[in-house]
Amino acid sequence: MIIRDVRLTPIAFRDPPLLNVTGVHEPYATRCIVEIETATGRVGINETYGDKSTYVDLATIAPALVGLNIYDMAGLAAAVRNSIGGAARSEYEMAPGTLSKTAFARCFAAFEVACLDLQGQLCGRPICDLLGGKYRDAVPYSAYLFFKFGGHRDQPNTVDDEWGEVLTPEALLWEARTMVARHGFRSLKLKAGVLSPEAEVAALRMLHQEFPDHPLRMDPNYGWTVETTVKVAHALEGILEYLEDPAKGLTSSRRIAAAINIPIASNMAVTSFEDLPEVVTANAIRIILSDHHYWGGLRATRELGRICDVWGLGLSMHSNSHLGISLMAMTHVAASIPNLTYDCDTHYPWQVDDVIEGGRLRFENGCIRVPSEPGLGVRLDQAKLKELHENHKNFIREDRDDVAEMRKYQPDWAGTLPRY
């Protein structure tokens, strides 16, 4: 089954003014939609990062895929390496404040998922079966809570989102209630480092009081010092399930881990297989937040699961602003990893647009059902794709910049870390 065409379509979709330690989300988030078409006209799809450097890399690789068999993953790896270099690095934001990563893993992943979609379509099985089978029928996700502004600055053409302003612990509690009531989430995570640590501790205590059976997490994206982290952790001992990337660097994590009784999770200090030996040796980060988009695809993420199991590391899943194709790929791989036992992160409830047929995916009791349809289980809506591609053409900016966006609200905003 030979590839005859690869299409890349950058898109932009509406995103609310969500706050993090470095700044605020812009009115639109970007992604790139990948379509791989075979000689018989069958199309496999995927969704990946929408930053310019990823797009340039993918566009450089795409011609080398023509003529390749969709089952030939070694051939795909060679095509990626030969096109951009195996160790190619490019500036690219993986999380607020985390830049630069090998391009190979995320480029390979971008095409691997589309090939797996095709393979699944051809053999009539869902992708999770190609990964070894599913260990659960539905994948649980956590409510991703954000402090946020009530509307975007300088963007009169975007509709203000329905959530309004959330800048106090009380408003955050309302946000959590709404998320849980709408989607049934059974875990809650706060994007932290926005209010003072004292206010965020108060918010977490309110959440715990209201949702005593929901595991709680905080992610300040390196926004705290070691001392602040230890204070927060002591204040929330017995309340937090894990603390995510509180302070920068493994040395900081070691000092923190020695002083607190809450496990540290990371999607910033550990972002590739190359990082794992040091993480295992340091024994400070105990939970890896996987993400198939930059760990090298669905099969690589499954291999990560086995490594975590061997070394006694926990495994959960990170997310960026994304649409339904990514959510479905995350669901297949999460279903296929026996030890992915934490509820996964997702930004999906914050989005209103999508590019899939049949409209947006629905959570049931906080879960996405693992599809039994062949391949990914979702198809592209070409009219929506065109519409969001038009958005991208009109939305003039190349890469996500939360710091610059925040300066529209607060001109002296520095966005430097640690903040507290």
Query: Residue 308: how many CB atoms within 10 A of its CB?
Result: 22
In the chain, what is the straight-line distance between the N-terminal and C-terminal CA atoms, in Å? 55
Q: Is 267 in the site for Mg ion (CB under 5 A)?
A: yes
Of 6-14, 33-41, 217-225, 325-333, the segment contacting Mg ion by CB under 5 A is 217-225
Nearer to Mg ion, 152 or 217 (CB): 217
Q: Quick one: how far is CA 194 from the chain centroid?
A: 19
What is the C-alpha to C-alpha distance for residues 37 and 35, in angstroms, rounded to an integer? 6
Residues in contact with Mg ion, counted by CB under 5 A, come to a total of: 3
Query: What's the min distance (Å) between Cβ of 245 and Mg ion?
Result: 5
Q: Let me know: does 272 contact 304? Beta carbons within 8 Å.
A: no
Q: What single letter denotes the amino acid at residue 105?
A: A
Q: Let me know: does 196 contact 420? Beta carbons within 8 Å.
A: yes
Query: What's the min distance (Å) between Cβ of 348 and Mg ion?
Result: 16
Q: Let me know: does 290 contact 301? Beta carbons within 8 Å.
A: yes
What is the C-alpha to C-alpha distance for residues 45 and 215, in angstroms, rounded to an integer? 34
Of 31-39, 123-131, 230-238, 262-270, the segment contacting Mg ion by CB under 5 A is 262-270
Query: What's the min distance (Å) between Cβ of 217 and Mg ion?
Result: 9
Q: Where are the alpha helices (DSSP H) in 236-314?
A: 250-259, 276-282, 292-295, 298-310
Which of 35, 51, 93, 219 is close enough to bind Mg ion by CB under 5 A?
219
3-state secondary structure 5-16: EEEEEEEEEECC
Nearer to Mg ion, 129 or 244 (CB): 244
Secondary element (H or E) of residue 46: strand 43-49
What is the C-alpha to C-alpha distance for residues 98 and 21, in angstroms, rounded to an integer? 12
Nearer to Mg ion, 47 or 219 (CB): 219
Range 234-253, binding Mg ion (CB under 5 A):
244
Range 340-369, binding Mg ion (CB under 5 A):
none
Q: Is 291 in the site for Mg ion (CB under 5 A)?
A: no
Nearer to Mg ion, 93 or 244 (CB): 244
Query: What's the min distance (Å) between Cβ of 195 and Mg ion?
Result: 17
Of 124-132, 134-142, 214-222, 235-243, the segment contacting Mg ion by CB under 5 A is 214-222
Nearer to Mg ion, 35 or 219 (CB): 219
Nearer to Mg ion, 111 or 147 (CB): 147
Of 235-243, 265-273, 319-327, 381-389, the segment contacting Mg ion by CB under 5 A is 265-273
Q: Retrieve residue 300's tokens.
A: 């690589």
CA-nearest of 130, 72, 99, 69 to 294 is 99
Give the x-and-dash track for 169-208 against Mg ion (CB under 5 A). Answer: ----------------------------------------
Query: Would you say how long the chain is, in residues?
Result: 420
Q: Let me know: does 10 contact 393? Beta carbons within 8 Å.
A: no
Query: What's the min distance (Å) between Cβ of 229 and Mg ion?
Result: 14
Q: Is 30 in the site for Mg ion (CB under 5 A)?
A: no
Query: What's the min distance (Å) between Cβ of 243 and Mg ion?
Result: 11
Residues facing residue 289 across a β-bridge: 316
Query: What's the min distance (Å) between Cβ of 224 and Mg ion?
Result: 13
Active-site choice (152, 183, 189, 191):
191
Nearer to Mg ion, 93 or 129 (CB): 93
Active-site choice (134, 214, 248, 318):
318
Nearer to Mg ion, 98 or 391 (CB): 98
Of 54-62, 150-158, 212-220, 398-406, the segment contacting Mg ion by CB under 5 A is 212-220
191 flagged as catalytic: yes
**3-class DSSP assignment, residue 316:** strand
Residue 277 neighbours by CB under 8 Å, 6+ apart: none
CA-nearest of 271, 272, 268, 236 to 253 is 268
Q: Let me know: does 12 contact 400? Beta carbons within 8 Å.
A: no
Query: What's the min distance (Å) between Cβ of 277 and Mg ion?
Result: 22
Produce one character per residue of 312-345: b if its CB has 16 or more CB atoms within 10 Å, e if not. ebbbbbbbbbbbbbbbbbbbbbbbbbbebebbbb
318 flagged as catalytic: yes
Catalytic residue annotation: 191, 318
User: Which residues are at the interface with Mg ion (CB under 5 A)?
Assistant: 219, 244, 267
